[in-house]
Structure 1
Amino acid sequence: MMRKAKIILGLAIAALSSPSVIIAATDNLFIAGINPDQRPANTPIILEAFKDQAWYAKALTGVTQPYPNSLRFLDDQGNWYTPFNRPGMTGRYDIRGWHRSSN
């Protein structure tokens, strides 16, 4: 019984790893990273990042004025991910007070 299962599993793996099966399955898929120096033609382009006072207030949570010059990077911050404007760890590691209750 165990031998039959191994044979069936081996045949399934061989069939799925066939190049014709792989090519047929990926004809219409977008695969990131094939040409990392080129953006796909119909990819949306962000032209401007909107940052109002509420955005700056959130990004500067727990930082007191005068703000240090090292935070000038916020002026150039786009819509990409940065851990600086999101809550991090809790407890004694929450040095900016993101997780403290407002009571």
Structure 2
Amino acid sequence: MDFNTKVIHGGQKHDPSTGAIMTPIYQTSTFAQISPGIDKGYEKQKARLNDTRKTRDNEKVTKSLGRLRNACAGTENTMPFILDSVREYATLGEIVNVMKEVFGEYEEPTWI
């Protein structure tokens, strides 16, 4: 560990739940509510997503997702097809769902 690393980690307590020295990045989006049932934080995000879905060319999105599905099922590098889908304004959820259809979803093994 060189000096810069020591300085970055200096004085940091580890996270007891994960053991991480630095706070881990959690890939979730939870927003505070103004009061129960009144959400504000994600309204702009939802509105932008709905606007994008209304204005994009859905035929192009469907075709790009089909090409991605074929690439996943074959032996091709999927990254160009993912980027093509992004350029056509496919959502992250749509891209992930195509990949889940082909590859399935990881399930952690359980040992008894």
Answer whether TM exceeds 0.5 for this pair: no
Looking at secondary structure, tell me which structure has more strand per residue.
Answer: 2
Larger helix share, 1 or 2 = 2
TM-score, normalization: structure 1?
A: 0.26
Relative contact order, higher structure (CA 8 A, sep 6+): 1
